[in-house]
Amino acid sequence: EIFGPREKNRERMAPKNSTTAEAENTYLTKTSTNGRNTERPPLQIVWLNVYLITALHGMALYGLYILPRTKPWTWVWMGVCFILGGAGITIGAHRLWSHRSFKATWSLRLFLMLMNCMSAQNDIFEWVRDHRVHHKYSETDADPHNAKRGFFFSHVGWLMVRKHPDVRTKGKQIDMSDLYADNIVMFQRRHYKPLTIIFNIILPTLVPWYFWNEALWNSFFVCFAFRYAYLLNVTWSVNSFAHIWGSRPYDEAISPSQNLVANLGTLGEGYHNFHHCFPQDYATSELGTYINLSKFFIDCFALVGLAYDLKTTSKEAVLQRRRRTGDLRNQKH
Q: List interacting residues with Zn ion (CB under 5 A).
A: 256
> Which of ligand ST9, Zn ion, none is residue 163 near (CB under 5 to 8 Å by kind)?
ligand ST9
Is residue 248 a contact partner of residue 273, using CB atoms and an 8 Å limit? yes
Nearer to ligand ST9, 262 or 306 (CB): 262
Nearest-angstrom CA–CA distance, 219 and 82: 14
Mapped onto helix, strand or coil, the DSSP state of residue 308 is strand
Q: How far is the CB of 187 from ligand ST9 (least distance, A)?
A: 18
Nearer to ligand ST9, 172 or 191 (CB): 172
Q: For residue 32, what are the CA distances in angstroms to 8, 56, 81, 140, 168?
A: 15, 36, 43, 10, 21
> Which of Zn ion, ligand ST9, none is residue 283 near (CB under 5 to 8 Å by kind)?
none
Nearest-angstrom CA–CA distance, 201 and 219: 10
Nearer to ligand ST9, 214 or 267 (CB): 267
Is residue 255 a contact partner of residue 243, using CB atoms and an 8 Å limit? yes
Nearest-angstrom CA–CA distance, 260 and 143: 23
Nearer to ligand ST9, 200 or 313 (CB): 200
Alpha helices in 8-147 (DSSP H): 8-13, 19-24, 26-29, 47-66, 72-87, 106-119, 124-136
> Which of ligand ST9, Zn ion, none is residue 259 near (CB under 5 to 8 Å by kind)?
none
> Which of Zn ion, ligand ST9, none is residue 240 near (CB under 5 to 8 Å by kind)?
none
> Which of Zn ion, ligand ST9, none is residue 49 near (CB under 5 to 8 Å by kind)?
ligand ST9
Q: How far is the CB of 61 from Zn ion (least distance, A)?
A: 28
Q: For binding to ligand ST9 (CB under 6 A), which residues are involved?
A: 46, 49, 86, 89-90, 94, 120-122, 127, 129-131, 133, 144, 159, 162-163, 167-168, 171-172, 231-232, 234-235, 238-239, 266-267, 269
User: Which residue type sits at 201?
Assistant: I
Nearer to Zn ion, 249 or 256 (CB): 256
Q: What is the DSSP letter of 45?
A: B
